[in-house]
Amino acid sequence: MDWNKIKTIFILTFLILDLFLVFQFIDKRNTTGQLSWIRETKIEEQLKAENIKYPEFLEEDVDSPFISAEQKSFVKDELREFDDQTITIIQDGPIVSILDNPFPLSEDHFKNNLHEFLKDHVYEGDQYTYWSWSGETNKLLLFQTYEDQPIYYNESGLLSIQLDGNNQVIGYEQTYLENIQEVSDEGNYTNIFHGMRAIESLYRKNHLTFGNEITDMKLGYFKVVPISGDVQFFAPTWHIQIDNETNYFVNAVEGQIMESVEGGVESNEFAF
């Protein structure tokens, strides 16, 4: 047996194995470095690489307070001025109105017509903002606002307007939040994260994918927990709409993500 040949073969074999392990190590190191680079890449660059379009936002944080409120119990005297409709006050619930005469909403002047209707025919109507139209029920859904910021999907601050077949208003149901107060430490506003960070939260959770477009984004409020009794507590919340279709709500303080579903929203996860 030629031991010199066998020795040479073993040496070459171990040399090849060592080279293989070295290359494996280098490849793994390069891969790890690439992943670290990707993580460190600015979110704007990542969105650009994914062809994700979004509105322009300032990077600075936004100041906005928590608020508390409670549902109003209507009394007849407050509604006497609306004598062109029949209003029924439901105990511990909404008021229901039926108009004496339908109010037209022109397709060409929808926004102005709706504003006129709210101003003249609805209690504190200028405090509501349009959200959506349901083709199935032919109803308009509006949310109450605070400082021009919508209070999203709160059963105590909704206006549901019923249309007929000619898109005329024939009645509505209304709830209203009153005694709205800002809640913060020593009267200071709560520092919340800016819009781009909310977008990043959705991106990290794979709710934003290649080619998506953020078609609407607005800061508003969403109910967190009741404080006591009838008092409700609301946190600053980003509404982000993707491709004019899917709506997400990102708690601007704690980062919880919720997705809009038919008739309301469902909790999804925490962003961070």
Tell me the CA distances in angstroms from 42 to 37, 134, 176, one per residue in order.
Answer: 10, 39, 43
Whether 140 is covered by a domain: the verdict is yes
Asked if the structure places residue 104 within a domain, the reply is: yes
Same domain, 77 and 163: yes
In terms of residue numbers, what domain contains 190?
Answer: 43-64+185-270
Domain assignment present for residue 5? The answer is: yes
Q: Judge contact between 253 and 262, C-beta under 8 A.
A: no
Same domain, 33 and 117: no
CATH number of the CATH domain containing 258: 2.40.128.690
Are 81 and 58 found together in one domain? no
26 and 53 inside one domain = no
Averaged pLDDT score across all residues of the chain: 81
Q: Which pLDDT band, with edges at 50, 70 and 90, does 270 fall under?
A: very low
Looking at residue 228, the DSSP 8-state letter turns out to be S
In degrees and rounded to multiples of 5, residue 16 shows phi and psi of -65, -40
The DSSP string of 4-65 is HHHHHHHHHHHHHHHHHHHHHHHHHHHHHHHHHHHHHS-HHHHHHHTT-B-----SS-EEE-
Determine what percent of the chain is predicted with pLDDT higher than 90: 60
Chosen domain end from 125, 151, 175: 175
The tens digit of pLDDT for each residue in 201-227 reads 999 999 999 999 999 999 999 998 766
pTM of the model: 0.78
Confidence of residue 261 (pLDDT cuts 50, 70, 90): low
Identify the CA nearest to 111 among candidates 121, 119, 101.
119
**Percent of the chain clearing pLDDT 70 (strictly above):** 73
Domain co-membership, 165 together with 206 = no
Q: Which of 9-18, 169-178, 201-210, 243-252 has the lowest mean pLDDT?
A: 9-18
CB 214 within 8 Å of CB 199: yes
Would you say residue 25 lies in a domain?
yes
**Residues 104 and 149 reside in one and the same domain:** yes
Q: Are residues 100 and 193 in the same domain?
A: no
Rounded average pLDDT over 187-202: 78
Lowest mean pLDDT among 33-42, 70-79, 164-173, 196-205: 33-42
Q: What is the DSSP-derived secondary structure letter of residue 142?
A: E
CB 218 within 8 Å of CB 249: no
Last residue of a domain, one of 120, 155, 175: 175
34's tokens:
């690439």
Q: Place 32 in a pLDDT band, splitting at 50, 70 and 90.
A: very low
Structural domain count of the chain: 3
End position of a domain, from candidates 129, 147, 175 = 175
- Is the domain of 170 the same as that of 77? yes
Looking at the structure, tell me whether residues 81 and 171 fall in a common domain. Answer: yes
Same domain, 166 and 254: no
The more confident residue out of 250 and 224 is 250
- Could you give the dihedral angle defined by the CA atoms of residues 211, 215, 221 and 223, in that order, rounded to the nearest 10 degrees? -50
- pLDDT tens for residues 149-187? 999 999 999 999 999 999 999 999 999 999 999 986 655
Same domain, 143 and 221: no
Is there a domain that residue 138 lies in? Answer: yes
Q: Is residue 256 part of a domain?
A: yes
CATH number at residue 149: 3.30.310.160
Asked, for residue 180, whether it belongs to a domain, the answer is: no
In terms of domains, do 57 and 33 share one?
Answer: no
Burial class (CB in 10 A: 0-12, 13-18, 19+), 49: exposed
Residue 170 lies in a domain: yes
